[in-house]
A and B are shown apart, each in its own frame.
Chain A
Amino acid sequence: MRAIVAIIKPHKLDDVTEALRDAGVQGMTITEVRGHGRQRGHSEVYRGAEYSVEFIPKLRLDVVVDDMDAEKVTDAIMAAGRTGKIGDGKIWLGPLDTVIRIRTGERDDDAI
């Protein structure tokens, strides 16, 4: 099993969730987060004075998938979440030991 974390632009949420469902993903979790990448945010003008927005609002998407689905799912997120401009976000994934469904106690593959 693999845990996939994607940081995406908030307005791309609908596109990405639709793509994930098409790819067979059933469950997912999103969180409102803020962050920055290499650009370190940007500056805005408020009442004539500049201020820097260091951490930009993003959505964090958490998905748990079978090993063999990982490639397909990351491709789907990439395709649906991309605008081609700075700030499209990142995806990272890593191995996962255990998954448990709280209601039934099912484990691992059965719990995905």
Chain B
Amino acid sequence: MSTGKKLFALTLVVLIALIAVGQFGHGGSGDPGGTKTSAYSTPTKGSVNDDLATGPKNVPVSQVGVNKLANETGHLRVSINFTWLLITGFLVLFMQVGFAFLVTGLTRAKNAGHMMMMNIAAFAVALLVYYVVGFAFQFGGVAPIANIGNTAPLNGIFGHGTAGVIGLHGFFLQSGNSYDVGVVAFFLFQVVFMETAGYIIIGAIAERVSFAGFLVAEVALAAVIYPVYGMWVWGGGWLAQLGNSIGWGHGAVDFAGSGVVHATGGWIALALAMILGPRIGKYRRDGSVRAFPGHNLGYAVIGTLILLFGWMGFNPGSTFGSTDLRISIVAVNTLLSACAGAVAAMAWTNAKWGKPDISMTCNGMLAGLVAITAPCAFVAPWAAVLIGIVAGFLVCYSVQFLDSRARVDDPCGAISVHGVCGVWGLLAVGLFADGTYPAAGWNGVAGPVKGLFYGDVGQLGAQMIDIVVGFIWAWGMAWIIFSLAKRFVKVRVSPEVELEGTDAGEFGQVCYPDFVQVTETDARLQDDDLALPYLTAEEQVGVAPAHVGQPVGAAPHDTG
């Protein structure tokens, strides 16, 4: 049987298993009909009754009527929050489009189809994987989410008290009675967040990763790397519990995922880019760095603006409900930081290179967005501007550093935007959180979240632990998994495919068949190319001039 047929059979088996396994666990205490969710069991019950109890005494109140009213109010409250959660989730889903535009625009025309294919495949594959295991690992034991009716089935956790390490309910949206309207609404919102981390990695591995290698990375991300760290911070895990266990602030606080989503994606991208090596022609041993201009800066700008729009779901949606009126501040903080980041990058590149750089301005706006993602709910608008400005400068320095010093080839700046600025966002919570949010405690610690400048050093400490653990986990796991995968799967395309274009080489279809592509920035494989060590011996011989492999300076073979 050919490899293609084997893969087809395997795919069929997996897809059928998705259906079959979902059959187990029917008939539990979940609420698939949505009639019980929120009704009388929500926190609104108490307040409605209290108000009525202390109201005018001369109004005849029937207990049945009060119960009915409380029921309706509770149901309405949860309905409003459901609507908010789902619509913001759809906005986050739309970010996939923005990212597809961004990364395709920032790469060369000969790879445009490959970039787009990775974006759509990432979404489909990662979503199914997250449905099978990822969601359960991350949120199987999350604390009750009152805004959407308490998500009661998600109460399975591995690890006692403040030491939770992994969730256990919600496999196939079925185990632990998780076939439930609240749980599934929450799944929609969370799966699109995971997809965000999933497409971040594309930007850094573009133009040389093989489609197969990419899928391996994507599955690892969706099944293990993202959900497990996500559980530690968002799913009631040990990082979130640092406030309860060792008394450091409120534990790791990451409102919408500067760390959980962006830094994780960025650090995975870093590990993959390091294992893959640079694109052919990017670096040479003589120290030269070559730019490969993106083929459509218009795409890059469109993509960035779509991402900005989608972020209006990403951050404000992370309240899990519009009954939390902080959403207005979250949204405006997000815009302020994004614009400050874009302006900072524009000014910096203009000062440094003589002209404002279009793609770096895009990166600056995204840097501001990534950085404000963790602190957006906890800081004042002025702090949001400051956080954005710092992020805008940070991304410029980081892109320069990675490109020219560290020589990690990151075509779209994903590592700098998401990794570096994600870390800055986590740090910013520990600095600027001003103690106005939330009214109730965060992560089970009483009182609002405060940063260093508002008197809580412990919070900064918790953020730092979060940053270090997040880096070690995401980078380390990606490194281990991808290094192992490299032995079984060809993770980097052959030099012929890379030079011809991954569209034609990997798919036999090109994105722009009607155009002659003048690829003057394409490089030949030369004998001091820093991509050489990442190619196999045969590949080096196949494409490189005959004298490749000899010491530099040796005479070429006389080919007669």
Output the nearest chain B residue to A48 by Cβ-Cβ distance.
B400
Within 8 A of B (CB), among A36-78: 44-51, 53-55
B359 / chain A contacts, CB cutoff of 8 Å: 46-47
Considering the chains assembled together, what is the distance between the CA atoms of A34 and B413 in angstroms? 30
B521 & A47 in contact (Cβ 8 Å cutoff):
no
A47 / chain B contacts, CB cutoff of 8 Å: 291, 357, 359-360, 399, 403, 413
Asked if B353 is at the interface (CB within 8 A of a chain A CB), the reply is yes
Asked if B290 is at the interface (CB within 8 A of a chain A CB), the reply is yes
B520 & A48 in contact (Cβ 8 Å cutoff):
no
B357 / chain A contacts, CB cutoff of 8 Å: 45-48
Chain B interface residue number, banded: 20 to 34
Output the nearest chain B residue to A57 by Cβ-Cβ distance.
B518
B403 & A53 in contact (Cβ 8 Å cutoff):
no
Considering the chains assembled together, what is the distance between the CA atoms of A25 and B400 in angstroms? 53
A34 & B291 in contact (Cβ 8 Å cutoff):
no
Considering the chains assembled together, what is the distance between the CA atoms of A49 and B400 in angstroms? 8
Contact bitstring B52-87, A, C-beta under 8 A = 1, else 0: 000000000000000000000000000000000000
What is the interface size of chain A, counting residues whose CB is below 8 A from a CB of the partner?
12
A49 & B403 in contact (Cβ 8 Å cutoff):
yes
Q: Is the interface of A mostly helix, strand, loop or mixed?
A: strand
Cross-interface CB contact of B293 among A46, A48, A54, A55, cutoff 8 Å: A46
Min Cβ gap A38→B in Å is 18
Contact bitstring A76-108, B, C-beta under 8 A = 1, else 0: 000000000000000000000000000000000
Output the nearest chain A residue to B106 by Cβ-Cβ distance.
A47
B291 & A51 in contact (Cβ 8 Å cutoff):
yes
Considering the chains assembled together, what is the distance between the CA atoms of A49 and B410 in angstroms? 13
A48 & B353 in contact (Cβ 8 Å cutoff):
yes
Output the nearest chain B residue to A46 by Cβ-Cβ distance.
B291
Min Cβ gap B410→A in Å is 10
B→A interface (CB under 8 Å): 289-293, 349, 352-355, 357, 359-360, 399-400, 403-404, 413, 518, 520-521
Could you jot down 11 A-B contacts, CB within 8 Å?
A46-B357, A47-B359, A47-B399, A48-B349, A48-B400, A49-B403, A49-B404, A51-B290, A51-B291, A51-B521, A53-B520
A→B interface (CB under 8 Å): 34, 44-51, 53-55
- Further contacts, 7 of them, CB under 8 A, given A47-B360, A48-B404: A45-B291, A47-B359, A47-B399, A48-B400, A48-B403, A49-B404, A55-B520
